[in-house]
Structure 1
């Protein structure tokens, strides 16, 4: 038996017993220490809406398999078909880069001024 269940999510497998609903929880930002509320727009949040920083927890989106666990700095924007604008994060420890969907709706959307200040990559 595998340690990961494969599901329908294109982000890849997650550890057994972990649902996307359980991943969409309130957390404290690793950079600014503000409390980040769970997302309410139907997607789960993986970065702070107040400073846009993230935490390196995934090898592939959603798997929570990274052992790095260090802060990820927002370094720019890309546009991806079907996902729109995405913030690109770079891990401050290992250099891993990961694009992440912007949160535009819900109770705590991403700070638009910070998003627009990022360079296009």
Structure 2
């Protein structure tokens, strides 16, 4: 499934806040802000593993993920599944270099397949499925 262009733009914005939710095997949600979250192509979302102790454990046992991206009054939720975890390759190296500039490590990159997208902006379209 391809993510709508307006959502990709927000996911790739440095100014947007990106919140990622994983779920444990017992159904407990775990939510963290992951600034490195982005959409490198229309059918893919990725996030660098900087710390992610609980999140990575959850992803290894439960592939379900929700990504919320917010900037000002605009907000979207992408529901997806873990597709891969990379510790080498061009995407990993690119993210590693960017994080090194901030003094942060990059243990890996999680790749997510988007399945559904919802408009979560404040207003009459909140909760509407858009993809």
Give the shorter-chain TM-score range: 0.3 to 0.5
Q: TM-score, normalised by structure 2?
A: 0.31
Q: Which has the higher helix share?
A: 2
Q: TM-score, normalised by structure 1?
A: 0.32
Q: Which has the higher strand share?
A: 2
